[in-house]
Amino acid sequence: MIEAKKHDGITLDLIHRDSPQSPSYNVSETYFERLNKAFHRSISRKSSISLLSSKSTNSISARVTADGGEYLMKIRIGTPPVEILAIADTGSDLTWTQCKPCSRCYNQTAPLFDPEKTKTYRKVSCKSKQCSEVGSCDSSNNCKYQVSYGDRSFSMGDLAVDTFTFDSNYRKKVSLPKVAFGCGHQNEGTFKETGSGIIGLGAGSLSIVKQLDKYIGGRFSYCLTFIDSNASSRISFGRDAIVRGRKVKSTPIVSKYPDTFYYLTLEGLSVGSERLEYNSINSNSKESVEEGNIIIDSGTTLTFLPSEFYYKLESKLVKAIRGKRVSESQANFGLCYALPRNGKFNAPPIVAHFRGADVELRQESTFLQVEKGVFCLTLVPSQDMAIFGNLHQMNYHIGYDLKNLKVSFLPIDCSKKSRGKSR
């Protein structure tokens, strides 16, 4: 094992919760059943995000469903290190895991983390900056945290620090000291027994990304494989996360409240050669598009667009696509087509025009076969939040640079191993 050096590289597997690599994989479920559950989680997660939530001084409101994450990630905590499998979530900041003694815990397959068995575990003092971000004090001057979720799930316990170890795919195990996390003694809700908590990858001060800044230089990236791929997706930190290549496109990250989320500016969408401007949702307005009008999120499957803008997009697609419109049985989607007799469904290319970055949305994910013989548009209307979901991030190497406040996109086959770097 080695200690991480400044801007070191770390690359790990990201395990989709419905993939055969996941401990929660249900072999009896069909592909379409798993897909439908992901859609429902996506809708639930979106509805739980509340940008109007007031910030509390003694708790964190995660604003998403506890069961809403789509990818699992393995880390090790403590000395000696104990493996934790938890949801990797760009919509949460605080990392936490269930801990002994647990007075009120949900069932989990793996043993509970025992702080008594690690030499490097320390509770955080009430006077620390970390405590001021998240906690409240008890009579022993220890910092207590409470994180709540939109579906009424919660985690409560001690805010602590310990050594985190990453089993990097291409190097020896990388050890990082004094990482703050929640040692949860009371945890309840919609958490799955195969997971031990949350790994926070948001933009807030207590996220893993911010805490490891001096080691990883504010950089992380991921490469998500298509849903039916047998290969694992990957997440990288530090120098492994640099996105390189002639076709790289970058767009600014916009700072907004709450600081957990990664806000981008979507200027429009193109259907074939015809462009639809985002500000056309206010048809009488000549004002430029609002900065930070969409969140990019790895834990949301679908892409959500403001309703008026979505229906303008749908209208353009209806005019461009020749095919038989049908309805799918779950009524999740507004635009669906029957598979033609020749077995090939064709739709015009859709391009998302982020500020400074044109990102093509691949037909394999924009029109997805959601049940046998039925293809549906996976961009859906929303009355409030706009979210760029993970279906439309697949087969892109997507890099987050918090130093230079930008997100970069590079089209790449994510099923191919490449030491975390794109060339």
Q: Examine the residue annotation and report whether 89 is marked as an active-site residue of this protein.
A: yes
Q: Examine the residue annotation and report whether 297 is marked as an active-site residue of this protein.
A: yes
Spatial distance between the Cα atoms of 418 and 421, rounded to a whole number of angstroms: 6
Positive or negative, the CA dihedral 170, 237, 221, 261 is: positive
Omega prior to 23 cis, within 30 of 0 = no
Q: Which of 404, 403, 382, 389 is nearest to 359 (CA)?
A: 389
184: Cα within 13 Å, side-chain hemisphere: 22
196: Cα within 13 Å, side-chain hemisphere: 24
The residue from 8, 67, 89, 158 that is catalytic is 89
Positive or negative, the CA dihedral 76, 78, 82, 88 is: negative
Active site residues: 89, 297
